[in-house]
Amino acid sequence: MGAHRSSFGKLERDRAKKAKAAVKRERRQSRAGDEGSGGDDEGRAAVSVAEQLSAGDLLRMVEELHREFEAKLISFEDYEERKADILSRLPVD
């Protein structure tokens, strides 16, 4: 019998999970850099502002991400993770 292959859905869930972990890691690192400057309220405000970006802003972020990938500044895995994170924030009406 051949090896079991992962389904596309599972791969997407794994990518989304990695993207969330990367965002969480970045937030922790930015908070560590700003330790003396503020409390958790500032961190929450920054997250809510980031989540309230317009669809146009999010698409511009994807374009910039694509440029970084084409310039070989980031790996394909990082590109896919970050793109999935940005696209997950797009408002769906």
Task: Determine the Cα–Cα distance for residues 7 and 10; give it in Å rounded to an integer.
Answer: 5
pLDDT of residue 69: 93
Let me know if residue 3 belongs to a domain.
Answer: no
Let me know if residue 81 belongs to a domain.
Answer: yes
DSSP alpha helices (H): ranges in the chain? 8-33, 40-51, 55-70, 76-88
pTM comes to 0.45
Let me know if residue 34 belongs to a domain.
Answer: yes
Supply the mean pLDDT for the chain: 75
pLDDT of residue 45: 42
Let me know if residue 22 belongs to a domain.
Answer: yes
Instruction: Measure the N-to-C terminal CA separation of the chain; round to a whole number of Å.
Output: 45
Let me know if residue 32 belongs to a domain.
Answer: yes
Angle, helices 8-33/76-88, rounded to nearest 10 degrees: 90
pLDDT (tens digit per residue) in 8-43: 677 677 777 887 877 787 777 777 766 555 444 444
Domain that residue 19 falls in: 8-88
Let me know if residue 21 belongs to a domain.
Answer: yes
Total domain count, the chain: 1
The phi-psi region of residue 34 (left if phi > 0; otherwise alpha if psi is between -120 and 50; otherwise beta) is: alpha
Let me know if residue 78 belongs to a domain.
Answer: yes
